[in-house]
Structure 1
Amino acid sequence: MKKIFFLVLLSALSMSTYADEGMWFLMHLKKLNEADMQKKGLKLTAEDIYSINNSSLKDAIVQFNGGCTAEIVSGQGLVFTNHHCGYGAIAELSSTKHDYLTDGFWAKSLQEELKPKSLYIRFFVRMDDVSERILNLVNDKMLEEDRERTINREIAKIEQENSENGKYVVSVKSFYNGNEYYYFVYQDYTDVRLVGTPPSSIGKFGGDTDNWEWPRHTGDFSIFRVYGDKDGNPASYSEENVPLVPKHFLPISIKGFKEGDFSMILGYPGRTNRWMPAAGIDQNVNYAYPAWVEASKVGMDAMKKHMDKDQSVNINYASQYSGVSNYWKNRQGMIDALKKHETSAAKRKQEEDFSQWASKKENRSKYGNVLTTINDYYAATNEKAKHDNYLMGMLRSSTFAALPQSLGNGLKKYAESSEAERVNLRPRLENFIQTNLEKVYLPLEIDVLIDELNLYTSKAGNIAPYIANLAKNNNGDFSGTIQDAFNKSIFSKMENLNNFLDTPSLETINEDPLYKISTALLDKYRESDPKQVKLDGQYQAAFRKYIAGFLSMNPNTKYYPDANSTLRLTYGKIRALPEDGKNDAKINNYTTLEGTIAKYQPGDEEFDLPKRLIELHATKDYGRYADKAGYMPVNFLSDEDITGGNSGSPVLNGNGELIGLAFDGNIEAMAGDVIFDPILQRTISVDIRYVLFIIDKYAGAQNIIDELNIVE
C-alpha cells in the first residue's frame, strides 16, 4: 500500500499529511526553503538562521566529537547533547568508585566539571560552492584515478587558502557523487568538560529493547561546557581557560507545543544513500547487512557475559558495546523495512523511467550504458560485500583484531629508528599503549576474538589466506589458537610492550602471533586487486552519470544532496504516528512520566528507575516544567528528515527556541537512509521540559538552570 509513495525519490511533497523530505544546505535556504518554512510557521528569516557576517542560529549548532550534534544553550558555553553521545566520555571518567554512568553526575561549580582525555566540539563558520572551479579541471575521458588525483590536488589548494594559517579546519566535500563540490570552514575547541548527566536508568531508560521503538520514555541528554583561552580562542586544556562566550546561544521554550506545530532541526546527519540503485539495495538486504547483524550479535554476546559479571568491565566496555548494539538493531531494522516496503522494486521503477529517458537519441551516447554498468558492478561484488561485513563486524567488536597491526607497525618503525629518533617516538608510543590497553579485559577479548574468527571462517567466503590456514589446522575452532596467541604475544600486556621499548626487535613483532592475525585481517580488509580497482572506477563513473542524468531529467524539482556529516536543516511539524493502542497519551505524539513509571521494573537493567524520580512523580512535583494539562512530558514525535549524526540535534520551534533534543528514529521508517517514507518517517526527541525537570527537580542543579534563557 505504501509502495506508491516510494516511486518518487526526491519529490517536494506538499500535502499536509506528508512529511517534509530534505536535508538542506543553510546557504540555499533563502532560495529553496524560506517561503515554504514561513508559510508553515517559521517566524525567522533565512539570514537569522545562516549569516556569515552576523550572529545567527548556525553559531549555536556544533558537531560533537565528530559523530553527533550538540547546541550551545548559555552565554558561558554550556552544551546540551544526548546521553548516548556523551556516553564514551562519561564512561571514560567513570570508575567503580565514581560510577557516573550508573549514578549520574552534576557539577555544582566550574571547578567540579570533569575533563575527559579526548573530546572536541566543532563550530561551523561558513561554506561556499567550488563546483565550477574543480569540475573545470576534469572531463569524462579521464581515468577515475587521474580524475581523483586532479580533484584532490585542487581540494588541497582550497583547504589551504581558507584555513588562515591553521586557524580553521577546512573540508571540501563531494556531493551528488562528484557532480558538485562545496568547502566548509570550521573551528575546533578541544577543552570540553562534563557538567552533568542523569543516571543511565534515566539517560538510557529502555535500553536495547526500546531502541528505535515508539513509544519511548528516555531522558537521553547530557551536559558539557566548552572552554577557550581568555580571548575566546581554542586552547589545549588549562586551568587558566575560561568558559567560551559564544556568538549565539539558544533560548529554551517551556511553553509546550501541539500536534501540527512547525518545528525544525539543525544538525550533522552522518550518511544517507538515497541515490542507491536497486541492485545496491538488494546487495545490502541479501549479503552485506545480514553479515553485519550476525557478526555484531556474536561480538555482543561474547562481551555481555563478562560485562554482567564485573561492574568495572561493564563500565570499561559500555561505550563499545552500545555502539555495536545500536548498529546491530539498525541493520536488522533496515533489512526488515527494505523488504517490507519492496524498496528495490520502487527503485527499479524509477530506473525504468531513467532508461527510457537515457535511450533517447540525444542522451544515448552519455547515459545509455549507465545502468548496465551499475548492475554488473553489484553482481560482481555481492560476495565481497558479505565478506567485508563479517570482517567489519569483527573489527568493531574485537580490540585485538586491529590493535596489534596498528600498534605493531609503529613499534617496527621504532625498532628501525636511531637512538635519537626513538627519544621522540617513545612518548607517543607509551601514550598510545596506555590509552588502548589500560582498560582492556583479556578474558573478554579472548572470547570475542575466538567467536568472531569462528564465525568469519565458517561464513565469510573468500577469507584472508593466513586465517584460512589457521582454520584448516584447528578444524575451524580458534579456542586453542587464540588462547595460545594471547599467552605468547607482547600485545596482551602493557608490561611486555614497555619492555619492548627498552629492547626493540623487528623479529619480535614480525613473529608475534597476534600481530600476524591482525595484519592478515587488515590486509584482507584493505585488499584491492587491479580487477577490483577497474570495477570500482567503472562504477563510480557510471553512478556519477546516473545522478547527473537524473537531475537533468527532472529540472524543475528541488533537490538536496545525501547526508555526509555536513550541517543541514530539516523541517516539518509535531506529528503523531497512527494510533496503535500502546501509548499512554491521548494523542500519539508524546509520552509522559506516568508512562515511564508504568514500564518500571525494579532491578531490571533496562527498566529500573531511581527512587527519587518515582517519588517526584508520586507527589506530582514537576515544578514549572509540567504541561499546562498537568502531566510531565518525556518524549515527543515530529516528522523531520534525520539520520545518524543528528543525535543531540536541537528541535526548534518557529521562533528558533529549543523545545527538544533529537535522539532516535522509528523502526517503521528504518529504510529512511535509502528512501524517504513520507507517511511513517518520524524523529523521536526528549522534551526539553523533561530535561530541565531532571536538572532542576531531580538533581537540584540550580546553578545550571540559572545559566539558561528560559522562555515561559
Structure 2
Amino acid sequence: CDLVNLYHGGQYQLYKYHKYADARIVFAPEKASASFGGDPDNFNFPRYDLDMGLIRVYENGKPAKIGNHFAFSKNGAQENEMVFVTGHPGSTQRQLTVAQLLSLRDIGLIDRLLRLAELRGVVEQYRQTGAEAERVGEGLINSVENSYKALYGELQTLLDAQFMQRKQNEELALRQFVAARPELQAKIGGAWDAIEQAQIAYRQQYKPFSFIEGSAAFMSTHFKYARMLVRAAQEKTKPNAERLPEYADARLPMVEQALLAGEPVHPDFEKVQLNFSLTKAREILGSDHPFIQRVLGKASPEQLAERMIKNSKLADLKARKALWDGGLAAIQKSDDPFIQLALAIDPEARALRKRFENEVTSVISKNSELVAQARFAQTGTDAYPDATFTLRLSYGKVKGWDEAGKPVAPFADFGGAFARDTGADPYALPASWHAAKSRLNLKQPFNFVSDNDIIGGNSGSPMINQKGEIVGLAFDGNIHSLGGAFWFDPRVNRTVAVHSGGILEALDKIYDAKELLKEIDGK
C-alpha cells in the first residue's frame, strides 16, 4: 500500500497494489526499430517507432493466471474514437505558485540545461574513442538528449509571456477569493508570501545542496554505491521512525536490491563522468570553497577520478555485499576511497539537507497544502491534481492538430517508415524490416496521436477504447507536450502511441512470433 499525497497535501488517498515479483521479458524489437529517428524525431510526429516490449509475469514459477484483463484490438485505434490511457504519469508542476515557477525558470532549469549541454559533448567525445566506448556511453547519451529536449521545452513555456500572465492572473484571482473571506484569509492568506520567502532560501542554498547532498559533484556509480552503503549502515542503527525516509524498514529491500543488482560498472567511463562532475563542482562552488578543498586537496579533478576509480573495489558485487552485511563496523574500517569520501562529506551533506528541509521543503509543503485548500474552496476538484507517479486515467480522442495553419494527420503508417529510411543512423531500419517489406501492409497504421493528457512516466501505458480493448501503447508526446508539465493545451498537445494493429502486423510479418500472437489472442 502507498499513501498518496494529492493536491500538494490537499487530499490523501491510500493506493493498494498487487505486486508481481517475477517478470520476464519475452519480446523486444531491435533498437533501430524501437527508436527509429533517434533524437531528431523524439517529441515529434509523424513518428515510426515500434517502441514496445512484451513481458510475462509469473507466480510460483508459472505464468500468472490473470482473471481480469483488457483484450488486444486487432483493428486498433480509429480516428475520432474516444480512448483512455491508464498509467502512472511522473510529475507535473501545474499547481505551483508564480514564485515557484520563477525559481524553476531562473535557477533550476537553466542550471540543468547548461550542465546537460556540456555533458553531452563530454560523453560524445568519449564515445568516439572506440566501438566499446560507443556502446557503453549509448544509454547516457540517450538520456541526456531526451532530458535536454524535455527541459528546454519546459523552459520555453516558462519564458512565454502569455503563459506567465495567465498563471499570474489565476493566482491573483485565487488570492482575491481568499481575501474576500475573512475565515480563509486568516488561515490561508499568508501562504503565498511564505512560499515566496522559501524561494529566496532555495536560491541561496541550491548550488551547495545540489552538489553536496544531491551528489551532483560525484557523477559515479562507485559514489552512488558508497553513499547507499554509508547511509544504510548509519540509519539502520536508529529507530525506524528517526531514519531518513529512504532508509526506513519498508524501503531497505529496495536499497539492497539496487546495491546488489549486479549492474555493470565501466571504469574508464566512470573516470570521464567523475572528472566532469568534479570539474563542474569546482567551477560553480569555487576553488576556495571548503568542500572543494576538502575533496580535491592538491589533486585535479582528473587526477582524483583516476586515483579513486583505480583503488576502489565497489565495482565488485562481492565487496559491496560484504560491506552491506558487515554493517557500520565494516563501513568504518573500510579503506575504500569512495567509502572514505562518503563518510568524510556526510556531516556537511546532512547539515545541508536539514537546513534545506527546514527552510525550503517543509515551508513549501505546509503552505502548498493551504493553497490547495484555497483551490478546493474556489473550484472543488474540477482540476485534477498534479501527477504523482501513481495510477491515473486520462480520456481523449484520436485526432491530429493544426501546425502553422496546416493539418497534421493522426496516423503514420508502415509505408512512411520505409520512406523515411535513409540507411544511416538514426534513420536506418533493421535488416529484418527490409526482408519483410513485401509481406507488410504498408498502409497499416503504425503510430498515431490523441489528445490524452499524459506526461513522462506514462510510457508503456495502454490506450483503451470504449469496448475495453487495447488499441495502442503510449510512448511519447509531440513537441507541444513539453509544456504539459505546467498546463495542458488541448489544441496542440498530443500523446504519441504505437497502434495495436501495427504491433500485431510487426509481430506477424516481421518477427514471425506466432506463439506470442496466439497468447495475445487468448488462445
TM-score by length of 2: 0.84
Residue 611 of structure 1 and its aligned partner are, at CA, apart by 2.4
Alpha-carbon distance in 2 for matches of 1:498, 1:565: 31
Residues 268 and 565 in structure 1, CA contact (< 8 A), matched pair in contact too: yes
- Which residue of structure 1 aligns with residue 309 of structure 2? 486
1:571 partnered with 2:395: yes
Among 1, 8, 16, the alignment partner of 1:185 is 16
Among 72, 81, 91, the alignment partner of 1:271 is 91
Partner secondary structure for residue 18 of structure 2: strand
Residues 395 and 402 in structure 1, CA contact (< 8 A), matched pair in contact too: no
- Which residue of structure 2 aligns with residue 656 of structure 1? 468
Report the CA distance shift for 1:411/1:270 in structure 2 as closer, same or farther (over 3 A): closer
Once the two structures are superposed, residues 122-171 of structure 1 have per-residue CA deviations (whole angstroms, 9 ceiling, x without a partner) of: xxxxxxxxxxxxxxxxxxxxxxxxxxxxxxxxxxxxxxxxxxxxxxxx11
Alpha-carbon distance in 2 for matches of 1:179, 1:447: 45
1:358 partnered with 2:182: no
Residue 576 of structure 1 and its aligned partner are, at CA, apart by 0.5
Residues 579 and 588 in structure 1, CA contact (< 8 A), matched pair in contact too: no
Residue 670 of structure 1 and its aligned partner are, at CA, apart by 1.0
Report the CA distance shift for 1:432/1:223 in structure 2 as closer, same or farther (over 3 A): closer
Q: Which moved more, 1:450-459 or 1:588-597?
A: 588-597
1:491-640 alignment, distance < 5 Å: 491=314, 509=334, 512-519=336-343, 526=350, 527-530=352-355, 533-555=358-380, 558-579=382-403, 588-604=409-425, 606-617=426-437, 619=438, 621-622=439-440, 626=441, 631-640=443-452
The unaligned stretches of length 5 or more in structure 1 are 1-169, 230-240, 415-427
Report the CA distance shift for 1:296/1:708 in structure 2 as closer, same or farther (over 3 A): same
Among 267, 272, 278, the alignment partner of 1:453 is 278
Among 503, 517, 520, the alignment partner of 1:705 is 517
Report the CA distance shift for 1:502/1:222 in structure 2 as closer, same or farther (over 3 A): closer
Partner secondary structure for residue 260 of structure 1: coil
- Which residue of structure 2 aligns with residue 407 of structure 1? 229
Alpha-carbon distance in 2 for matches of 1:615, 1:696: 13
- Which residue of structure 2 aligns with residue 343 of structure 1? 163
- Which residue of structure 2 aligns with residue 202 of structure 1? 33
Partner secondary structure for residue 651 of structure 1: strand
The unaligned stretches of length 5 or more in structure 2 are 237-253
Residue 534 of structure 1 and its aligned partner are, at CA, apart by 4.5
Report the CA distance shift for 1:395/1:402 in structure 2 as closer, same or farther (over 3 A): farther
Report the CA distance shift for 1:677/1:471 in structure 2 as closer, same or farther (over 3 A): farther
- Which residue of structure 2 aligns with residue 367 of structure 1? 188
Report the CA distance shift for 1:432/1:574 in structure 2 as closer, same or farther (over 3 A): closer
Higher relative contact order (CA 8 A, sep 6+): 2
Identity %: 24
Residues 71 and 469 in structure 2, CA contact (< 8 A), matched pair in contact too: yes
Once the two structures are superposed, residues 179-209 of structure 1 have per-residue CA deviations (whole angstroms, 9 ceiling, x without a partner) of: 2211111111111111111100101112222
Partner secondary structure for residue 659 of structure 1: strand
CA RMSD of aligned residues (A): 3.6
1:154-193 alignment, distance < 5 Å: 170-193=1-24
Residues 454 and 495 in structure 2, CA contact (< 8 A), matched pair in contact too: yes
TM-score by length of 1: 0.63
Report the CA distance shift for 1:691/1:311 in structure 2 as closer, same or farther (over 3 A): farther
Partner secondary structure for residue 218 of structure 1: coil
Partner secondary structure for residue 460 of structure 2: coil
Once the two structures are superposed, residues 349-387 of structure 1 have per-residue CA deviations (whole angstroms, 9 ceiling, x without a partner) of: 111112212222523212222211111211221243355
Residues 83 and 465 in structure 2, CA contact (< 8 A), matched pair in contact too: yes
Residue 304 of structure 1 and its aligned partner are, at CA, apart by 4.2
1:641 partnered with 2:453: yes
Residues 229 and 323 in structure 2, CA contact (< 8 A), matched pair in contact too: no
Report the CA distance shift for 1:596/1:550 in structure 2 as closer, same or farther (over 3 A): same
Partner secondary structure for residue 9 of structure 2: coil
Residues 262 and 317 in structure 2, CA contact (< 8 A), matched pair in contact too: no
Aligned length: 501
- Which residue of structure 1 aligns with residue 58 of structure 2? 227
Report the residue type matching 2:37 in the other structure.
G
Residue 228 of structure 1 and its aligned partner are, at CA, apart by 0.9
Report the residue type matching 1:270 in the other structure.
G
Partner secondary structure for residue 254 of structure 1: coil
